[in-house]
Amino acid sequence: MNTQLKTLKILLLLTALLLTGLTLVLKLQPASVEARIAQGDPRVGGDFTLTSATGPVSLSDFKGQVVVLYIGYASCPDVCPTALAVLTQALGQLDQSQREQVQGIFISVDPERDTPEKLAQYTAFFSPRLIGVTGSKEAIDRVVKQYGAFYRRVEMGDSALGYAVDHSSRLYLIDRAGKLVDTLPHTTSPDALSLLLKQLLANQG
Amino acid sequence: MKRFSTLLTALCLSSSIAYAADVSVEQPYARATAPGQANSAAFMRLVNNGAATALVAADSSAAEVVELHTHINDNGVMRMRKIEQIELPAGKTTVLQPGGLHVMLIGLKQPLQEGAQIDLNLEYADGSQQQIDVPVKRVAPAAGMPMQMQRQSQGGE
């Protein structure tokens, strides 16, 4: 009985410590892009200019349209294609006139492997409504910061890949006025995305 | 004595065969690739009806190198890492799926086109091997995946 009580005490103590630790970690982290959108932070999102196979592309080129943005890299074997497939399927659930008012933008953070030409081939595989852009490290880093994203090249000495890119995986929803209004994880369903797209399209802004 | 050792060998052999046969591969598929995409991944459900083992290697004539990888979702940041093996606990189904464990196909000899099929050879911890045919499919989004995962965790058998 006594030992049981003792174990219980230790367990309670450990739980308290764990919770304190977690709270600290959460407090110290910078506000997520989701929190910043919710707070109406005016510095989150915004215009950018990067390079596509057919020349420079700015977010402001698509004013009046709803934009879905994804930040990843083309040799990403799994997570990025999943996110883009969700986008493709969601677009498929819209009627044609709606679909023509949605622009998908895939930003590659791996310009070393992803040339604009390669990105054009890559994005065409998913949807004609999707374009691929990339740029210099500085230009990419600026957009990544604006959108509260994250990426880091990780050397993989043990793998034939050479390196992988750790990256945040979000679908960013941008309204007709060019304002970042929502984000979705790549695990979202096409239904959920198409519903949000329809809502954004309904708002003529 | 000789007869005994023959018997022992036979037993060992039959047990290793049984091990191999005790992992059944369900719903395998490889992800169709965009033109110029050098890598892809294969997914499947590995149902282990026998003793605990592990998937330790794989190879395919469709890719230069085949590795076992996983994804760690670290607070929304996806970190892909190579792993030495995929544990297959006794009596459990281990699911290789987008965003998680996968067989990574590196250096594709040609793009994987929907409707095609690739060969995949799986090697287990006991040295046994299993040859499977894997159909190439357009990626299926994660829709309904949580439901599926629920079923799997319940159906531990």
The answer on pLDDT for A27 being more than 90 is no
Average pLDDT, chain A: 91
Residues A108-144 as b/e (b if ≥16 CB within 10 A, e otherwise) read bbbbeebbbebbbbbbebbbebbbbbbbeeebbebbb
The answer on pLDDT for B150 being more than 50 is no
Q: Tens digits of per-residue pLDDT, A3-15? A: 888 999 999 999 9
pLDDT confidence tier of residue A93, bands split at 50, 70 and 90? very high
Question: What per-residue confidence (pLDDT) applies to B9?
Answer: 53
CATH fit for domain B2-140+147-154, picks 2.102.10.10, 2.60.40.1890, 1.20.58.100, 3.40.630.40: 2.60.40.1890
* B32 neighbors B118 (Cβ within 8 angstroms): no
Average pLDDT, stretch B41-60?
Answer: 95
Question: What per-residue confidence (pLDDT) applies to B144?
Answer: 39
Question: What per-residue confidence (pLDDT) applies to A149?
Answer: 93
- Residue B112, SS3 per DSSP: coil
Average pLDDT, chain B: 81
- Between A158 and B2, residue with greater pLDDT: A158
The answer to whether B77 contacts A167, with C-beta atoms less than 8 Å apart, is yes
pLDDT confidence tier of residue A189, bands split at 50, 70 and 90? very high
Question: What per-residue confidence (pLDDT) applies to A79?
Answer: 86
Q: Does A118 touch chain B (CB under 8 A)?
A: yes
Q: Does A98 touch chain B (CB under 8 A)?
A: no
The answer to whether B77 contacts A158, with C-beta atoms less than 8 Å apart, is no
Q: Does A53 touch chain B (CB under 8 A)?
A: no
The answer on pLDDT for A145 being more than 80 is yes
The answer on pLDDT for A55 being more than 50 is yes
Lowest-pLDDT choice from A9-23, B1-15, B22-36, B119-133? B1-15
Question: What per-residue confidence (pLDDT) applies to B3?
Answer: 60
Lowest-pLDDT choice from A28-42, A114-128, A147-161, B105-119? A28-42
Q: Does A58 touch chain B (CB under 8 A)?
A: no
pLDDT confidence tier of residue A1, bands split at 50, 70 and 90? low
Q: Does A73 touch chain B (CB under 8 A)?
A: no
Question: What per-residue confidence (pLDDT) applies to B15?
Answer: 44
Rounded to the nearest 5°, which phi and psi values hold at A168? -70, 150
Q: Considering only the beta carbons, identify the residue of A123, A160, A168 that sits closest to B65.
A: A160
pLDDT confidence tier of residue B8, bands split at 50, 70 and 90? low
% chain B with pLDDT above 70: 75
Q: Tens digits of per-residue pLDDT, A60-79? A: 999 999 999 999 998 887 88
pLDDT confidence tier of residue B103, bands split at 50, 70 and 90? very high
Alpha helices in chain A (DSSP H): 2-28, 33-38, 79-92, 96-99, 116-126, 137-146, 190-202
The answer to whether B98 contacts A82, with C-beta atoms less than 8 Å apart, is yes
Lowest-pLDDT choice from A44-58, A84-98, A129-143, B126-140? B126-140
- Is the reported ipTM for this assembly greater than 0.90? no
- Between A129 and A42, residue with greater pLDDT: A129
d(CA B143, CA B149): 11
pLDDT confidence tier of residue B114, bands split at 50, 70 and 90? very high
Q: Considering only the beta carbons, identify the residue of A159, A168, A170 that sits closest to B82.
A: A159
d(CA A165, CA A151): 6
Cα-Cα-Cα-Cα torsion A83, A173, A74, B123, nearest 10 degrees, comes to: -20
